[in-house]
Structure 1
Amino acid sequence: MPEPAPQAAGGAIAGVLLAAGMGRRFGGDKLLHPLPDGQPIAQAAARALVAALAPVGGTCVAVVRPGQTALADVLAEAGCTIIECPEAAHGMGHSLACGVRATAQARGWLVALADMPRIAPPSYAAVRDALLHGDARTIAAPSWQGQRGHPVGFGRHWFEALSRLQGDEGARAVLAAARGAITLCPVDDAGVLQDVDRPEDLADLGR
């Protein structure tokens, strides 16, 4: 397994790719399922996130469950540092907190889901830039046709709240507390809404 993630350099944006889900509705390890180009779902998501952060010196960690060796390998190949979260089976909140704590010195966090492989690089970049040009309290997300999507960016102010998350609600409580203060970044990209939960969802990617 790769070494534990270093803390992100002060002032940098850290990417946190959540890749510890069980994939029960998919009926198997969906994150390793190949896309038409042969690339695993999670690897496509990871490469887009890494590409968006590289120009600004950002780091990227991918949070997995212990023992997900094959998944860790493809995510490391995409440029992520791997974080194993022992509590990942208890819900996404634990995984997100684990990734944020591992990059505790970051200026902000760009939180992405490994089962959303069709988010275009400019959509990641739009949220990244909102964090870079905002202040510590900034929360930003892309929107397509009026609907908020992923990834979601959090400024430094939100470290404590994010690092203590538990359960399966992810960052919903943080977003609810900041309602009305979320910066929406309009994008021409349906991929910001398209996740893969079931095999039939693969047919909708790219539409």
Structure 2
Amino acid sequence: MITAIIVAAGYSFRMKQFKPLLSLGERTVLERAVESFLKSGIRDIRVVVGHRADELYPILERLGVQTIVNPNFAEGMFSSVTAGIKSLSPGTQGFFLLPVDNPIVKKDTIKKLQNAFFATEFGIIYPTYQGTRGHPPLISCRYLSNVMAWEGPGGMRALLDHYEQDALEIEVEDPGILLDMDTPEDYQQMQKYCGYKRIPSENECNALLKNSNTSVQVINHCQQVALLSVVISSYLVGRGCPLNIDLIQASALLHDLAKGVPDHAQVGADMLNKYPEVAQIVAEHTDICLNSTNQSITEKEIVYLADKLVKDGHIISLQARFSGPLEQYRNNCKVFNKIMLRLSNAQLIQSKIEQIIEMPLQNIWMG
């Protein structure tokens, strides 16, 4: 029997957000990692948790996998590896070892590693892509006592290096084995790898605008909003925010796709059902739903704010953008309050961004 051990107990210090719960398309990183094994026929899957474990329990219960709690997760990843290994059933012949931040592995890769494991005498099977080793290795249970007794530096990798003569490399057509999520830039690359089919390219966005008979004036506005959104996002990524800039650019280019019709934000979103992540942002670019407890910045917030900062091809202040409508509808309480809410949300988002980049937002385009 082969078991999969997924390690998801760490702090995610370099990422600055909790990696297991970050999204990859419509699923979380943790769900993607588990599905990599489920799709390949592995049924004994064990996920080692520690930091923020309570937030992972509902997901793991729904997925039907075994949860292993590592109370010593603060000691580092190797403590989570040993916690997972201690849980293995007596009949286990080998185990895959996958950090949760390497969640994109094809089922054919898993099957190739298993076939090599049972067809040879090698005890450590590594997948390689274009000659470079990746995750997950498949390790024979004859090494369990060696792992439990290991006290040297370097963790699991250093231990396995001692048994290189027992290692076999299997070349696979799977670049995902090399993709991890140590940094926000890594996360962006993984999002692009996973979700490129759900995010239209710039050329595709322009074709969608043209086919929808969008006016030149609206297209110019969308292009200006997209440019500003990308500039703001670049500053935020430089400060460690794990943002998908391709998603932001596409959503900004398409946010006014249905401009001119009633409820154009939702109509535009409905037209983009082929691209669900873009559609969600387009749906909220006029009236956004903010999570008051979430201090991180999201793609939809950037597009929302940029749209409010652009008027007639120029970047203006929020006060300048909203002063006219507020004056116009000052005697219409319902409309006035709706405009005030839009202004308030924009100000809140701008304040969050300025705290992250540690300077006034206007310095970006005035500097």
Judged with a 3 Å threshold, the aligned counterparts in structure 2 of structure 1 residues 150 and 98 are, in CA distance, closer, same or farther, namely: same
Shift of 1:125: 1.8
The match for 1:50 is 38
Tell me which of 183, 192, 199 is aligned to 2:177: 192
Q: Deviations over 1:39-64 (max 9, x none)?
A: 1111101111233243xxx5110000
Judged with a 3 Å threshold, the aligned counterparts in structure 2 of structure 1 residues 167 and 72 are, in CA distance, closer, same or farther, namely: farther
More strand by share: 1
Q: Distance in 1 between matches of 2:115 and 2:159?
A: 21
Q: TM-score, normalised by structure 1?
A: 0.84
1:112 matched to 2:98? The reply is yes
1:131 matched to 2:120? The reply is no
Assess if the C-alpha contact under 8 Å between 1:83 and 1:99 holds in 2: yes
The match for 2:63 is 78
1:22 is paired with a residue of what secondary structure?
coil
Assess if the C-alpha contact under 8 Å between 1:30 and 1:41 holds in 2: yes
Counterpart AA for 1:39:
R
How many residues were matched structurally?
191
Tell me which of 20, 31, 41 is aligned to 1:31: 20
Q: Distance in 2 between matches of 1:80 and 1:42?
A: 12
Q: Which has the larger radius of gyration?
A: 2
Q: Distance in 2 between matches of 1:69 and 1:164?
A: 30
1:61 matched to 2:46? The reply is yes
Q: Distance in 2 between matches of 1:53 and 1:89?
A: 32
Shift of 1:28: 1.7
- Structure 1 segments (4+ residues) deviating >4 Å: 165-168
Percent identity of paired positions between Structure 1 and Structure 2 = 25
The match for 1:150 is 135
More helix by share: 2
Assess if the C-alpha contact under 8 Å between 1:97 and 1:164 holds in 2: no
Assess if the C-alpha contact under 8 Å between 1:107 and 1:156 holds in 2: yes
Shift of 1:167: 8.2
Judged with a 3 Å threshold, the aligned counterparts in structure 2 of structure 1 residues 51 and 162 are, in CA distance, closer, same or farther, namely: farther
The structure showing larger relative contact order (alpha-carbon pairs under 8 Å, at least 6 residues apart) is 1
Q: TM-score, normalised by structure 2?
A: 0.49
Tell me which of 13, 16, 28 is aligned to 2:5: 16
Q: Deviations over 1:100-154 (max 9, x none)?
A: 110042111111111112221211222222223334x510010001001100111
1:142 is paired with a residue of what secondary structure?
strand
Unaligned runs of 5+ in 2: 195-367
